[in-house]
């Protein structure tokens, strides 16, 4: 069984957040918004082993809720806004935040799997 000591977990996860290959940090991890490349175009590391399922979606949802809910208190205490505009604004902000975070969280998960040699990595 190969050792996991030669792969730095922290570096791999940070590279995943930046959407680059966990092995070399140069090639792109995704072919589209969330589609993982078969292999890194810089170093050839196979990336198709990634199996993250719904983990990134749940984690992203938790992060978005942790940011948006306190914002309601800030907005209502600082201003006296119309509830409809607050609801529309928060929905737009939450959607944009989720769209920005989701690929980064997925990259983080893939970096972790690569560093721990999970699923054939």
Residues that bind Zn ion (CB under 5 A): 21, 23-24, 27, 40, 42-43, 45
Backbone angles phi, psi at 30, to 5 degrees: -115, 145
Q: How is residue 33 annotated by DSSP?
A: S
Nearer to Zn ion, 13 or 64 (CB): 13
**Both structure tokens of 92:** 């737009």
| Shortest reach from residue 14's CB to Zn ion, in Å | 14
Asked whether 115 and 4 are in contact (CB, 8 A), the reply is yes
Nearer to Zn ion, 25 or 94 (CB): 25
| Shortest reach from residue 39's CB to Zn ion, in Å | 8
Nearer to Zn ion, 23 or 102 (CB): 23
Nearer to Zn ion, 102 or 110 (CB): 110
Distance CA 47, CA 4 (A): 17
H-helix or E-strand spanning residue 34: none
| Shortest reach from residue 56's CB to Zn ion, in Å | 20
| Shortest reach from residue 51's CB to Zn ion, in Å | 19
**Both structure tokens of 97:** 């935040």
Distance CA 53, CA 70 (A): 29
């Amino acid at each position: 069984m190969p050792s996991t000591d030669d792969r730095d977990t922290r570096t791999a996860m940070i590279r995943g957040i930046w959407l680059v290959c966990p092995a070399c940090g140069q090639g792109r991890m995704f072919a589209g918004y969330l589609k993982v490349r078969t292999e890194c175009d810089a170093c050839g590391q196979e990336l198709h082993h990634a199996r993250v399922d719904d983990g990134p979606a749940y984690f992203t949802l938790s992060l978005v809720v942790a940011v948006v809910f306190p914002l309601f208190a800030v907005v209502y205490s600082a201003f006296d806004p119309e509830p409809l505009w607050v609801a529309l604004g928060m929905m737009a902000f939450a959607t944009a935040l989720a769209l920005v975070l989701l690929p980064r969280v997925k990259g983080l998960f893939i970096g972790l799997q690569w560093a721990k040699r999970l699923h054939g990595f």
